[in-house]
Amino acid sequence: MNPQNRAAPLVGRERELCLLEAALRHAAAGRGSVVLIAGEAGIGKTRFCEEVGARHAADLANGDRAALWVLDDLPRVDESTWTFVLDTSGRIAGLRLVLAVTYRDEELVPAHPRWPDLARLRRGPGVVELRLPRLGPADAAQLARGVAPGLPEAALHAVVERGAGMPRLIEELAGLAGDLLGAGLLGPPSVNGLTPREREVAELVAQGLTNQAIAARLRLGRPTVASHVAHILAKLDFASRAQIAAWVAHGRGLAAAGDEHAGLRVLPGA
């Protein structure tokens, strides 16, 4: 990351912060709760909990006696931790405790073996649910500027577009913007703003499919696929299919960087 880049600010989460802070106030009065925090991988669930923890630590100086525990990535924890969470949820309403539990809602679905446990957890007393949505353009731009204050306007627009409202991806793109621009992997939306169909074709090009194979996969004519590929090359200012593949692979790598890891952390006040 460029040395001028700074720690990412937390933006676009005011409503969710208010909900968790209210839960902590209730817990300080002896009415604890489990807060289920859902969202996509890379949406910033861990970062959000860290911000809550930092604010809660400051409140301790004012006599706040509630404890805040955070459990990251619920689907990936072991059996004993699941048992702990379920047992705690049944008696937490009388404790001075907030247990914040994060999970990826695209992973913990009805087909997941832990879905019944999540359903049971949701039925528990004192359970609060919140979902972290993707950022809107204004918040995405604020985040990018917070990470890289000197970002040129054209690069800022490209980061916002490519980031698709995902905080971790926006942070990575903003931090790498200079290198990406130099490599021709990041340009203004007017140059590289692909349509959904073009993005789909780009993904298949990256898989090594020929135009004929892409046409069969998407049930399109070969001339139509050839036209899509030509548009992709033009918009990205590329000269070969290999460059398209590299661009797609780079995007996948940034998305993977947003993965969060399971683990129980006791934040100040426990």
69-91: pLDDT as tens digits: 999 888 888 999 999 999 988 88
The reported pLDDT for the residue numbered 60 is: 63
**Of 55, 1, 61, 46, residue with least CA distance to 23:** 55
pTM: 0.64
User: Which residues of the chain fall below pLDDT 50?
Assistant: 1-6, 182-183, 185, 187-191, 254-262, 268-270
Q: What CA–CA distances, in Å, run from 197 to 17, 100, 236?
A: 37, 39, 15
Tell me how far the alpha carbon of residue 63 is from its chain's centroid.
33
The reported pLDDT for the residue numbered 261 is: 44
76 — alpha (psi -120 to 50), left (phi > 0) or beta?
alpha
Catalogue all structural domains in the chain, each as residue range(s) with its CATH number: 14-133 (3.40.50.300), 137-256 (1.10.10.10)
The reported pLDDT for the residue numbered 252 is: 56
Are the C-beta atoms of residues 109 and 46 closer than 8 Å to each other?
A: no
Q: How far apart are CA 216 and CA 214, in angstroms?
A: 5
Contacting residues for 109 by C-beta, under 8 A, at least 6 apart? 115
The reported pLDDT for the residue numbered 192 is: 54
